[in-house]
Amino acid sequence: MFRSLYNWCLKQAEGKHAEKVLFGVAFAESSVFPLPPDILLLPMALAQRLKAYRYALVCTIGSVLGGLLGYAIGALLLATVGQWIINTYHLQAAFERFHEEFAKWGVLIILAKGLTPIPFKLVTIASGAAALNLPAFISASIVTRGFRFFLVAFLVRRYGEPIRNFIEKYLNWVACGVLALIVVGFWVVLRH
């Protein structure tokens, strides 16, 4: 199932409605869709490198708005729709861990998890279930998702085709390194 979805996404990246599909995938990934929008962003940005930042913006807006749907599912529909999503993707243990971490770290956990390969739908639904302050949720989502997508766009604009293998292989490590810098920065700021 995931292979056919992946192939469908790659085919859509070449079509005349690619930006709309990119927005839709970014929106849906933040609440229900299993594949990240990077699978569309990367080939689209490689095909039209001058539009890479525009595509990153489309991804960011779609992801943040989709995150609001995920937040609403967690806040209002956790027992029904939220539980179905968590069960469908076998995220029960991850959801519980996230909920515990969220109680301890608050909005910092969104910044951390939004950069990693952890499904963002888990972050958005759990944020709604935990009743995270909505402006804080939106701000953290913009920062973390924007950074991720604009990093892909920057790398594609700067290095072109050779960056595809690098991104597919090492993006999670790069994102984790940046995450570590963000956490250390917040820790330093909060201690003073």
The contacts of residue 26 (CB under 8 Å, 6+ apart) are: 37, 58, 59, 60, 61, 62, 63, 66
CB 130 within 8 A of CB 102: yes
151/161 Cα distance (integer angstroms): 15
Structure tokens at 177: 């390194």
- pTM of the shown model: 0.74
* Category of 132 on φ-ψ map: left (φ > 0), alpha (ψ -120 to 50) or beta: beta
Amino acid at the residue 6: Y
Tell me: the pLDDT tens digits for 136-166?
889 989 998 999 899 889 988 888 877 767 7
| Residue 185 pLDDT class (50, 70, 90 cuts) | low
Which amino acid is residue 30, in one-letter code?
A: S
**Residue 179 is which amino acid?**
L
3-state class percentages of the chain: helix first, strand second, coil last, to nearest 5 = 85, 0, 15
Query: If you average pLDDT over every residue of the chain, what do you get?
Result: 79
In the chain, how many domains are there? 1
Q: Which domain holds residue 28?
A: 2-191
Q: How confident is the model at residue 171 (pLDDT cuts 50, 70, 90)?
A: low
pLDDT single digits (tens) 39-94: 788 888 888 888 999 999 999 999 999 999 999 998 888 878 878 887 887 777 87
CB 95 within 8 A of CB 125: yes
What the block records as the tokens of 97 is 């861990």
Band (189; pLDDT cuts 50, 70, 90): very low
